[in-house]
Amino acid sequence: MKDQNPAPSRMTRRQLAGAMLATAAAAQTPPPAPSTPAGELQAAREQNQRTAETLAKVPVPIEAEPAFHFTA
């Protein structure tokens, strides 16, 4: 049976996803609606930048990385 309580230094993928979603949700505040397409583009870029900066603060242990299998 799988260990239900991993060691404190380990993080499951579900825990990682939960932490990232909570962090991203906290970082996103709805800005006022821009009236021009250029304003919308700038607002989207700023929101992406804020989200990226917030997610960069969340430590990701290497064990949480998914295993990739490349086949030709």
Q: φ and ψ at 63, to 5 degrees?
A: -65, -25
What pLDDT score was predicted for residue 32? Answer: 64
**pLDDT tens track of the chain, all 72 residues?**
455 554 556 778 888 787 777 776 666 666 566 678 888 899 899 999 999 898 888 887 777 777 777 776
Question: What separation, in Å, do the N-terminal and C-terminal C-alpha atoms of the chain show?
Answer: 34
**pTM, whole model, 2 decimals?**
0.43
Tell me the helix, strand and coil percentages in the chain, rounded to 5.
55, 0, 45
Q: Which of 25, 70, 12 is nearest to 51 (CA)?
A: 25
Note whether 32 and 67 are within 8 A (CB): no
